[in-house]
Amino acid sequence: MGVHLPVIVHPPSSSGGRRVTVHGQIVGLAHGRGDVAEFLRRAGLAPDAEDVDLDTPGLIEWRGGGKDVWVASG
């Protein structure tokens, strides 16, 4: 079985935004990096949304594109 990171940012949806799950629970729909950082803060994974490093190894799995992809392709 593969390793699952605590935070998963799912592929962009055709209607906009990317679903974010923390420990398997949906925490919201992100429309940018700031939203992801705020969800991490609310989940207790970061003390301050402004200081969140979205490249922290072992924390976030970006599916369907990295942190700069917010529009569905195709």
d(CA 25, CA 14): 21
**Could you list the mean pLDDT of each consecutive 10-residue stretch along the chain, which spans 74 residues?**
79 95 96 96 87 88 94 82
User: For position 1, what pLDDT does the model report?
Assistant: 47
d(CA 74, CA 58): 29
User: For position 43, what pLDDT does the model report?
Assistant: 92
